[in-house]
Structure 1
Amino acid sequence: METLSIVKIGGNVIDDQDALNHFLHNLAALPGYKLLVHGGGKIATETAHKMGIPVQMHEGRRITCFETLKVVTMVYAGYVNKTITASLQASGCNAIGLSGADMNMIKAEKRPVKEIDYGFAGDITEVNITQLNLLLTAGITPVCCAVTHDGNGQLLNTNADTIAAALASALAGSWNTSLYYCFEKNGVLEDINQAHSVIPQITRTYFEELKQKAIIADGMLPKLNNAFAALENGVKEVFIGSHQMIGSTEVVNTKIALS
């Protein structure tokens, strides 16, 4: 099978134009087939504040009321998605910006209300690998934002880490797939205040130990859960680290392994 790199970019990298440009240049130069998933939460939060819309979070996940859904759609599927796509074109990478509704790419269902009402948050139910494979085999790099749909006209806000893992899992049967979670840190840190305290490898057993010690918490928890889910669904390898690891074999990062 051909190699496919699925890269998720988020955190402060999207807000740092120099870092983003460096990352996109390296991604464009990366050999083989690739797919990019991006967040944009900080910009969405700033935009919501400017519009007077309250921002609510729970365990690293955004609670999405109807007005917040408008904001994340404008920011994720609009400004951020098209800016990244244009930058990849400038670097010689033929890319297409997509939401989950485009080409019926990712369907989701509105998350049921349990202890927390997440509003218009979507849990993925289906990935259209046929359409994605058409784009990839044509040499086009999909740039996927964190907006999905339910198939009945309703847009939904879906965690970008979850989208990256779902896409990697769905495409693992067609490609030799690697998943990269890129953000502003060098990897998963043993000490959040020490940038170089990168944990080189985390197995599921070690993950449970790190959770009990509260070394891994908050927004890193869903990222690690998604990483393990991807490996269990046939993804070859998963890495978490800085944007500089793309295209480099020398940059320190954290490898996620089942055992």
Structure 2
Amino acid sequence: MKEKLYIIKIGGALIDDEELLEQFLEQFAEIQEKKILVHGGGKLATTLADKLGIEQKLVNGRRITDKDTLDIVAMVYAGGINKNIVAKLQQKKCKAIGFSGADANLIKAKKREHAEIDFGFVGDITEKSVNRKLISKLLKLELVPVFSAITHDKKGHLFNTNADTIASVIAQALSVKYDVELLYCFDKEGVLEDVNNPESVIKNISEEEFSILKEDGKLHKGILPKLENALGAVKNNVNKVFLIKETELKNHIENHHAGTEICL
């Protein structure tokens, strides 16, 4: 029987709210099973870029990570945010250890290729990008890895990589060894059929149902990357995947009643 492992991803809105982050980390620290935390960024990188006069470049609504922007996000995500979370978890007697993908070659990425757009220092990853053996050794030592959304190519370049994708591919890689449950924590009760009605939580979403909801325009564009990565995890042997409200982590761990479950 495989040992239980929770892989939990949090986003920028939670990181930007110090009180909510504190509450979440209290609940995270109480999880007795093996666990990994993956975090995105917050507004700090944008705020810092504005202060430094570095323009944020968008092409067709997509962010371009040039060298100046990369320097900022690496400093903020892998530096300030990551170490702040690690310090708070240490305070709660959780043996957290912070990483970027470059550390010990834990996540190796490939520069995103696009026929028309150069996204700059944006890295794409798959399940094979993850150093499964080393992460497993860290878990065996009762350490709690905390991953920022920074990866590398083993050629001396750092990349900005989607944190939802990082959580998904780590879950896929470790599902060979562990009974993995992947949790995407965000500011809604789950995936909502009506974004204006917090009680309209969809309890289960399959790939077919996702396609229908997407086609009908019922899904907010911000939720799409989470759902796409969640489905990718389920299709690649991750045992359970949920989208839950960040304040419901403890309730979900204990009762499995919260949020939206992603299924085949």
Task: Tell me by how many angstroms 1:60 deviates.
Answer: 7.5
Q: 1:133-159: per-residue Cα shift (whole Å, max 9, x none)?
A: 111011000000000000011000000
The change in CA–CA distance for 1:194 and 1:163 in structure 2 (over 3 A counts) is: same
Distance in 2 separating the partners of 1:60 and 1:79: 27
TM-score using structure 1 length: 0.95
Alignment match, 1:202: 205
8 Å CA contact retained: 2:164, 2:226? yes
Of 237, 252, 255, the residue aligned with 2:258 is: 252
Q: Which amino acid aligns with 2:137?
A: L
Equivalent residue runs for 1:20-39 within 5 Å: 20-39=21-40
Q: 1:107-165: per-residue Cα shift (whole Å, max 9, x none)?
A: 00110132332111001151101110111011000000000000011000000000000
Q: 1:60-94: per-residue Cα shift (whole Å, max 9, x none)?
A: 75321111101110110000000000011011100
8 Å CA contact retained: 2:195, 2:220? no
Alignment match, 2:89: 88
TM-score using structure 2 length: 0.93
Distance in 2 separating the partners of 1:171 and 1:119: 29
Distance in 1 separating the partners of 2:58 and 2:211: 24
* % identity of equivalent residues: 49
Name the count of aligned residue pairs: 258
Q: Which amino acid aligns with 2:53?
A: G
Alignment match, 2:239: 236
The change in CA–CA distance for 1:243 and 1:66 in structure 2 (over 3 A counts) is: same
Distance in 1 separating the partners of 2:225 and 2:60: 9
Equivalent residue runs for 1:1-259 within 5 Å: 1-57=2-58, 62-125=63-126, 126-248=129-251, 249=255, 252-258=258-264
Task: Tell me by how many angstroms 1:47 deviates.
Answer: 1.8
Q: Where does structure 2 lack aligned partners over 5 or more consecutive residues?
A: none
The change in CA–CA distance for 1:110 and 1:104 in structure 2 (over 3 A counts) is: same
Distance in 2 separating the partners of 1:178 and 1:52: 41
Task: Tell me by how many angstroms 1:58 deviates.
Answer: 6.1
Q: Which amino acid aligns with 1:202?
A: I
2:193 partner SS? coil
Q: Where does structure 1 lack aligned partners over 5 or more consecutive residues?
A: none
The change in CA–CA distance for 1:20 and 1:133 in structure 2 (over 3 A counts) is: same
**Deviation larger for 215-224 or 227-236:** 215-224
Question: RMSD value over aligned CA atoms?
Answer: 1.6
